[in-house]
Structure 1
Amino acid sequence: MNFDKANAALDSVYSADSPERLAKAYADWAATYDSETASLGYLLPFLITAWVARHVPAGEGPLLDAGCGTGLSGPSLKALGYGDIVGLDLSDDMLKIAGSRQADNKPYSELKKAMLGGPLPWPDRHFRAFFSTGVFTIGHAPASGLHELVRITRSGGHSIFTVRDQVFESGGFQGVFDELTEAQKWRPVEQSPWFRCYAIGDPAALVKTFVFEVV
């Protein structure tokens, strides 16, 4: 049953204790990721497009899908009129599936392998905005990764991302938010209430979406 397999795969990625183990967990999951997260009612790759559309006019870019996974967000944003989207992920296997979507109106202009929390391969102020879902969660990207994402986002651009409830305090996200605000690197624009990231499974799994404007 997809539901049971999806929960087992989630346990595997959440319990990964190193970047290598996390990449291996996603490599093992890549082929069935889309169908199994769909069985849980995984909302985030599609719902994030609402915040992107609210703050970034259609046609403006480039946009960075930071932690794009299998590229579920790209086609939705393409349908909404966004044409210059770059995908970033740590998993070759997930990027391969994201690349296979290129036959479907080529939602991604570029796909790159890199890890959030380390240096990113773009110059300062390169992107109009970045968006990220399911990445700032248990056993995944650290809050410190936001510094590098903000560096590559242009002034007046937007940072749009979700954070899982279980890591918000323990991962020091508020501290990083405050650092970037006090350094006048960004200013807060919007935050959602906590909401379920799986419409069907795991009702206790909550996330919040944050939007900041880069200064």
Structure 2
Amino acid sequence: MEMPDPTPLERVYAATTPGELADAYAAWAASYDRETAELGYCLPFLIPGWLARHVPAGAGPVLDAGCGTGLTGPCLTALGYDPVEGLDMSPDMLAIAESRGVYAALKRGTLGEALPWPDDHFAAFVSAGVFTAGHAPAAGLHELVRITRPGGFAVFTVRDVLVDSAGFRATFDDLSATGRWRAVEESPPYRAFAIAEPEVLVQSFVFAVA
């Protein structure tokens, strides 16, 4: 029996290299917003709430790291954050993000590699759904902390099953031990998709950058 073609989400989960992941998102970009809405994907709309608990509007520029098609950007600007800048590895996703008209700057880059901003540039960064299976490594947090100013905040989600197994907890501890940040908040696991994928759970984390 002929197997059905993988869904865009399955292609993303199956990617094993940055190139495969970029190709998967390029193929998905045009239908990403509609299809993730049908699945009940809620992280882009929830993560601004964690930011608002700790960072006042007007604190300075905010980075949407792994912004994809820019679903989070309008939520951030609606809450008064300005300017908002975005980072993503997919030029196809960035083109859609740009069309939303809310990002002051959008840059192509890959978490886990050097990022195209100077030290201490942002008042905070947010990252929703990016630290998950086959995506950005825990090591990418080091560069995000570098470009966040002292007194700023790191606000991001991690797939719950990866917190310990993929080195995130060890990276958290290393950044704390070296005085780069301190833990502020850690949520219990919760669903990333309100309708589909009930087994996909994430945690939200907030750290204050030192």
Quote the residue 2:207 is aligned against: 212
Quote the residue 2:26 is aligned against: 27
Quote the residue 1:201 is aligned against: 196
Q: Provide the C-alpha distance between the structure 1 equivalents of 2:114 and 2:103, rounded to a whole number of angstroms.
A: 21
Quote the residue 1:80 is aligned against: 79
Quote the residue 2:183 is aligned against: 188
Deviation, 1:170, is 2.0
State the identity %. 61
Deviation, 1:100, is 0.7
Quote the residue 1:168 is aligned against: 163
Where 1:169 maps in the other structure, the secondary structure is helix
Q: Provide the C-alpha distance between the structure 2 equivalents of 1:147 and 1:77, rounded to a whole number of angstroms.
A: 23
Q: Provide the C-alpha distance between the structure 2 equivalents of 1:193 and 1:141, rounded to a whole number of angstroms.
A: 21
Quote the residue 1:150 is aligned against: 145
Deviation, 1:108, is 0.6
Q: Provide the C-alpha distance between the structure 1 equivalents of 2:50 and 2:162, rounded to a whole number of angstroms.
A: 22
Q: Provide the C-alpha distance between the structure 2 equivalents of 1:130 and 1:83, rounded to a whole number of angstroms.
A: 12
User: Which residues of structure 2 form unaligned runs of 5+?
Assistant: none
Deviation, 1:71, is 0.2
* Kept after mapping to 2: 8 A contact 1:136/1:162: yes
Structure 1 residue 65 and structure 2 residue 64: aligned? yes
**TM norm structure 2:** 0.96
Equivalent residue runs for 1:33-48 within 5 Å: 33-48=32-47
Moved more, 93-102 or 163-172: 163-172
User: Which residues of structure 1 form unaligned runs of 5+?
Assistant: none
Deviation, 1:59, is 1.9
Post-superposition Cα deviations, 1:140-191, rounded to whole Å, max 9, x if no partner, equal 0000000010011000000000000232222111100000000000000001
Q: Provide the C-alpha distance between the structure 2 equivalents of 1:77 and 1:130, rounded to a whole number of angstroms.
A: 11
Where 1:96 maps in the other structure, the secondary structure is helix
Where 2:115 maps in the other structure, the secondary structure is coil
**TM norm structure 1:** 0.94
What is the root-mean-square deviation of aligned Cα atoms in Å?
A: 1.3
Structure 1 residue 118 and structure 2 residue 116: aligned? no
Deviation, 1:82, is 1.1
Structure 1 residue 108 and structure 2 residue 103: aligned? yes
For residue 201 of structure 1, what is the amino acid of its counterpart? A
Deviation, 1:122, is 0.8
For residue 160 of structure 2, what is the amino acid of its counterpart? D
